[in-house]
Every structure is written in structure tokens, then in C-alpha cells.
Amino acid sequence: MRVLVLGSLPGEQSLAARRYYAHPQNQFWRLMSGVVDEDLVALDYEARLARLLASRVGLWDVVASARRTGSTDAAMRDISANDLAALVATLPALRAIGFNGGASYKHGLRQLGPAAARYAIHALPSSSGMHTIGLGAKLPVWRELTAYLTP
């Protein structure tokens, strides 16, 4: 894995569907289509994940669990973090970490601590449909991850 994309915590629809970025207004799969240069939106969920792995992209969440009403990151309370430092230690080919949104970036950098210095860190605009920046403005920032996918 060369690139790791970290979200904060899946929203209600994603948790109910047991699928990352399941809300129809979330732009994640369209953004990642631009990163891996393949129409992931046209694929079923398992094929999307397989294509990301084949492209050497991994997904995970910064937050393991939290209490919240609704799906917004601002509503998260009693946050329990995933052990990101332990995860990245198992990924010797990892070159870059993309944080999907401000909450992921804030909590993720804290969790990585000094290990963050070993990677190119990208604070990505949130893929959430609630984020006010449009897809056209988000895509060039997300496409910066493409540079890390080749040897």
C-alpha cells in the first residue's frame, strides 16, 4: 500500500449499509475515481474496494468509535481512536496519507505523532456532500495523491 486515505468515522448511512461512503451525496467515490483514473462509481462496492487495493490505496478511519447524533464530525463525543501509528508501522511501502476532512486531519495527526514525519501528509477537502466546496474544486487536491501510486 502506497497511499492511505483516512476518514473520521462513517456516517449513519454508511454504518447501516456497512460500506464506506454509502451516502449518495458523498463525493468520495467520484474523487477516488480521479485519483486512480478509473470510474469507480460504475462498479459495485466490492469491486470498488478491489480496485483501490489493486491501485495500492487503503482506507481506514481515524476514529474507532464515538457518540454522536447524526453524521456530522462536529457532533462526535467520547471519541475512541484507532491506533494509526501501529497501522502505518505495518505498511513498509506507504508513501502518503490523505486525511478526508478537517476532523480526520486533526485527530489523525495527533494519533500519528512523530511517525507522521515519514509520510507526505495531505489535508484533503471533505468528500461530504455537506462540505461547501464543489467537486470541481476538490478534485485537483485529491488528485495530488496520484503521484504516490507509482514506484
Sign for the CA dihedral angle at 93, 99, 103, 106 comes to positive
Average pLDDT of the chain, as a whole number: 87
pLDDT of residue 73: 59
- pLDDT tens per residue across span 68-94: 665 555 655 566 778 999 999 999 999
Q: Is the pLDDT of residue 148 over 80?
A: yes
CATH code assigned to 3-148: 3.40.470.10
pLDDT at 135: 92
Summarised one tens digit per residue, pLDDT across range 93-139 is 999 999 999 889 998 999 999 999 999 999 999 998 776 789 999 99
Q: If we measure between CA atoms, which residue out of 130, 10, 15 comes closest to residue 62?
A: 10
Catalytic residue ranges = 26
Residues linked to residue 57 through DSSP beta bridges, in sequence order: 3
pTM of the full structure: 0.87
Burial class from Cβ neighbours inside 10 Å (0-12, 13-18, 19+) for residue 44 reads exposed
Q: Residue 50: its pLDDT value, please?
A: 98
List pLDDT tens digits, range 9-45. Answer: 666 665 565 677 777 788 999 999 999 999 999 999 9
Residue of 11, 7, 124 lying closest to 59 (CA atoms) = 7
Q: What are the structural domain ranges in the chain?
A: 3-148
Instruction: Name the β-bridge partners of 60.
Output: 6
